[in-house]
Structure 1
């Protein structure tokens, strides 16, 4: 078979291209972390030329994409996309980006990371970080089945046939379900996180029926009965995507910069990209061409057909980009220059297999990398190897290996910190996943660990010693720029998309519910034992009371909700005791669990706490008084924000609005010259929820909402005047903007004339925060709402 050659480079996305689809020779779909899905239409050929339109413009990273072929109701088919905002959008590709979607599929509790379609069965299947897969009926737009039992993120889903679904999970297990959600088989032959799945044709020479790919860089071929038939080894790092050509050949892509073509069990071609991650690969079944999406923001088409190959100029640009790209040293291992051959080797020696990598010590002392092309029978330059520490060059040894960083991570108070080794050119999310697996931590920690890495490396990338730190905190509006793998221009801010979506008004309540319940419960037990041993038995919980709390934690961990029962009411009272009566330094576990229970059951808001309601009891315990224990105050504010998850909780907070406002204002004033970042973000989140209530449920009492809106407006204006943290500023602006956009003219006038939003916003824009597109965008939205 002839080799694949570059056909087209499609540039336009502002961030990593995470998913691609290739339904026919004239249309390609791509989804990106820039929150857009784009349709690339072939407008002329030869050489192939494409133009794009934005099909969907969301507000958060888009990670997954699938195309559902035409039906009588949807003659152009449907594009399904999902990502960080947990919503799966179904949309006809002919609609404009600002048109409403045909359906919004709601049900997942965390990032959607996988999608596949089954036209024969009339359904779509999705996978998520929430440890479930879901089957959705096309047209009905309802969840038909929830595929449960996974012990980690469901990274891959495969609609094998109209009655069979296969999932790949972070717990290293492949599971086979029927389309009704019944588990039929678990396959445990994968040695690592399963990241991709693909159905194989009946004619595959190995007799296998589907393929899986893992973080260990191995492709495994299985029968539908679960028998491991073969292992394909060649990738040097994580494999992210699999697809099948019309010829029956398998195509794979991964973190080692390559796409590989496999005939049977042999790699017959390796296509190196000028990017660290090739996130996705898809095949056009009509003509056999390949499309890829990569971390350098480019979507690329490759073809075996001479008439569809790119112009000489485009081909040369691609070749030059590959040859000039930098390869992190950690990707190829330690390199001893003294033992490397010189340039003559490339003329004298042949490779032994396609894709074989050979390091060469050039005459100037640099190290270049070359791969063997079996088809062309020659070595091809694929880049220059550079020190992954950037310009610093200093390494830290850990367990016999050198790293750019070895961090101490405190997961639990009173325990030695865990070691987190990291090289500057690793994928922070994959480093976080490995750290979590090595230390048996819950996958819910992944986001926090990845953000910790980015913040503490200052976003360092190849060839740069420093870079502006990434925005901290999980951002429900999708502005978080945590990871930019292999991007030489990572320090540059992506341009504001041409049709940036409106943020205001915020309409949904936000909650802060991530936690390791087992760790928190264990810490509560340890501190309780210390109280007993120190003679404070009167403050401690009895063994049966501890058992009640631990049992409720187990129930919450499995279902995310707590059903109303005497045990729940007893449990929240026990936690209230810990949170308000125990010594201040020991209250964290009680407050943390009370925060989670506030979102999980209305009982938290309605229970009687020694004759007081929850909020009055918490305030009277002195948590918000000077001197402020910042962590206790922060968890208490998070609890207040989480109360909005239930109707009873919302009413309690609003009924105690004046009391809360006074306590929070005092707390911020007494927390020092530079308030704790987590505390201010928690306060801003609480204020968003209050603003959402005033502009939605509370609108029936327009006078009261308007008066309290003015009070909240004053607090938000005060916070914004002195706040420097990007996340706290952004959330405060969302709260303020929601009030200004939705409440009456008195609030709008006060924002402009009394609290001088113009001066406050200009002060924000004059700082480094003014460079952030999301902050510039929301300030512009607020100004549009103010009177002329």
Structure 2
């Protein structure tokens, strides 16, 4: 595989097909859909077809009898179980089913260059980041562009209009821009904080603080890996969470660091922006904290309003449905707690979603009803919300490694006469692949799915079978996990 220099990209060809319509009556071959091999593919690249499936349920997805710490990422180390990849060295492969069920795999993007740590969907484009330091851009299931950072695996990506921000293992946030003359060309346009701000701050001794390694460092710089980025588009603010236990607030317009929040006692794994100027953070110290933002002149001030969760196991990921003010927190014990936001910073605990047997590694929401959870157990649970009642519509399987990141966008190309509302879900895994799923908000036809999966002998339990009842409960369980779990 040829290594691309930063700024290198691919021009879109005239014969590039649009995203395929999912007509269950038509069988489409991958060669007809996928088109020509991207220019970067080597001559010895081969295309491998891999069949994936999803299941309505999987036996024992949550086991109340498992011993304390069994699912701990520190003990199991699922992301280190990389082994030999089952995929070929082809840049990507895709398969399509003759009969399209409610939720199904529609393609795979595979690059044998590193584990996938981050995703961002923006319109027709999908950005993927890996530990190879590359950021790749995909369009219509084809590689469209690529650019590379000088150091640090890509742990977070966020897209703001024509600007792309990436958070890295080396503690840096890099900013990229799309060339106005060539949409496939991305060029680095700076870092956060800027060199100018670093120089100005370094002159004043009061701008130095003691970091977690007991070394002196500028407060405007992260001293450890950037684990997450979140955008407050309305106010033009970018939030970065880090393993250095802080959250930093950046003004997008000029990349200025407005505030550094000493947020947690351990690595901050996730940060999300809610409504009413509320920000939430989740940490390896086992807490979920609520922060209320106040404006102080040209700067900001975030005050701790409430601690929603305080547990032994690490909080690994957060997601929010802003339209109904629902907040979800995934943990290393495989559980997802959720809360409903009332007025201001008041939250009420709604229950716990039980669908996984290993650590939750990522969460994302789609629309006002769907929530997706990805886990170290290599599966993705699709949850539908009705008020505070949540039903597991299906469990998506097919990854051969832990599911590390998720992104979703509305599928505007697919319309159904019955009013079915569908979403495109992207899942990145430590198996070095990104899988693309078509997901419906409708509940699956259990009898139809049973016929399709007759070869599988499934043992359904009460925590994983789709039903009209909720899988949630107010009990958080007694399974304690090791802290200091970083994601």
Q: TM-score, normalised by structure 2?
A: 0.53
For 1:174-193, list aligned pairs within 5 A: 174-179=247-252, 180-193=254-267
- Does residue 308 of the first structure (1) align with residue 442 of the second (2)? yes
Identify the match of residue 146 of structure 2 among 101, 104, 113.
104
CA displacement, residues 114-155 of structure 1 (integer Å, 9 cap, x when unaligned): 122223xx2222111111011222345122231141110011
CA offsets 1:726-758 (integer angstroms, 9 cap, x no match): xxxxxxxxxxxxxxxxxxxxxxxxxxxxxxxxx
Q: Aligned partners of 1:40, 1:193: CA distance in 2, in Å?
A: 39
Q: Does the 8 Å CA contact 2:57/2:458 hold for their aligned counterparts? A: no
The structure 1 residue matched to 2:331, chosen from 241, 246, 254, is: 254
For residue 230 of structure 1, the aligned residue among 306, 312, 320 is: 306
Match of residue 270, structure 1, among 345, 348, 352: 352
Alpha carbons 2:264, 2:285 under 8 Å: kept: no
2:316 — aligned with what?
240
Q: In the alignment, which residue of structure 2 is the partner of 1:357? A: 477
Aligned residue runs from structure 1 range 118-133, under 5 A: 118-119=160-161, 122-133=162-173
Quick check: 1:54 aligned with 2:174? no
- Aligned-pair distance for 1:43? 8.8
Shift of 1:253: 1.2
- Cα deviation for residue 40 of structure 1 reads 10
Tell me if the contact between 1:83 and 1:111 (Cα under 8 Å) persists in the aligned partners: yes
Contact map agreement 2:365 2:372 (CA 8 A) in 1 = yes
In terms of mean alpha carbon deviation, does 165-174 or 103-112 score higher?
103-112
Contact 1:218 1:233 in 2 (8 A): yes
Taking the TM superposition and a 5 Å limit, the aligned residue runs for 1:190-589 are 190-202=264-276, 208-224=277-293, 225-233=301-309, 236-245=312-321, 246-264=323-341, 265-285=347-367, 287-304=368-385, 308-312=442-446, 319-320=460-461, 354-357=474-477
Residues 331-385 of structure 1: CA deviation (Å, up to 9, x unaligned): xxxxxxxxxxxxxxxxxxxxxx713426xxxxxxxxxx8xxxxxxxxxxxxxxx9
**Contact between 1:274 and 1:322, CA under 8 Å: does it hold in 2?**
no
Contact 2:125 2:137 in 1 (8 A): yes
Corresponding residue number in structure 2 for 1:638: none
Deviations 1:206-251 (A, max 9, x none): xx42211111121112233312222111654222221112311111
The residue correspondences of 1:72-87 to structure 2 (distance < 5 A) are 77-87=124-134
Bigger RCO of structures 1 and 2 (CA < 8 A, at least 6 apart): 2
Alpha carbons 2:177, 2:186 under 8 Å: kept: yes
Distance 1:57 1:355 in 2: 41
User: Superposition RMSD on alpha carbons, in Å?
Assistant: 4.0
Q: Quote the offset at 1:198 in angstroms.
A: 0.9
**How many Å separate the matches in 2 of 1:9 and 1:281?**
19
User: Match of 1:135?
Assistant: 175
Instruction: Assess, with a 3 A threshold, how the Cα gap between structure 1 residues 317 and 235 changes in structure 2: closer, same or farther.
Output: farther
Higher fraction of helix = 1
Aligned counterparts of 2:385 and 2:95: Cα–Cα separation in 1 = 20
Q: Deviations over 1:586-625 (max 9, x none)?
A: xxxxxxxxxxxxxxxxxxxxxxxxxxxxxxxxxxxxxxxx
Work out the number of aligned pairs and report it.
Answer: 295
Return the offset for 1:298.
Answer: 1.2
Answer yes or no: is 1:166 the counterpart of 2:239: yes
Alpha-carbon distance change, 249 to 43 in structure 1, aligned in 2, over 3 angstroms? farther
- Given that 1:44 and 1:50 are in contact with CA atoms closer than 8 Å, whether structure 2 keeps it comes out as no
Structure 1: segments with no counterpart, 5+ residues:
1-5, 11-17, 19-31, 70-76, 96-100, 203-207, 324-352, 359-368, 370-384, 386-424, 434-445, 447-788
Question: Counterpart in 2 of 1:156?
Answer: 228
Structure-1 residue corresponding to 2:37: none
- 1:308 is paired with a residue whose SS is coil
Distance of 1:236 and 1:258 partners within structure 2: 13
Structure 1 pair 211–318 and aligned structure 2 pair: CA distance change class (3 A): farther
Deviations 1:408-431 (A, max 9, x none): xxxxxxxxxxxxxxxxx969xx56
**Structure with max Cα Rg:** 1
Q: Distance in 2 between matches of 1:37 and 1:219?
A: 38
Distance in 1 of aligned mates of 2:338 and 2:139:
32
CA spacing shift, 1:123–1:258, aligned 2, 3 Å: same
Question: For the residues of structure 2 that align with 1:38 and 1:294, how far apart are their CA atoms?
Answer: 23
- Counterparts in 2 of 1:275 and 1:117: CA distance versus 1, 3 Å: farther
Are 1:38 and 1:56, in contact at CA under 8 Å, matched by a contact in 2? yes
CA distance 1:87–1:189, shift in 2 (3 Å):
same
Structure 1's 356 and 131: CA in aligned 2 closer, same or farther, altered over 3 A? Answer: closer
Q: Do the aligned residues in 2 keep the contact of 1:214 with 1:238 (CA within 8 Å)? A: yes
TM-score (norm 1): 0.34
Structure 2 residues not aligned, in runs of 5+ = 1-53, 59-72, 74-80, 194-220, 294-300, 342-346, 392-440, 451-456, 465-472
Q: Distance in 2 between matches of 1:318 and 1:282?
A: 28
Q: How big is the shift at 1:280?
A: 0.7
Distance 1:312 1:228, change over 3 A: same
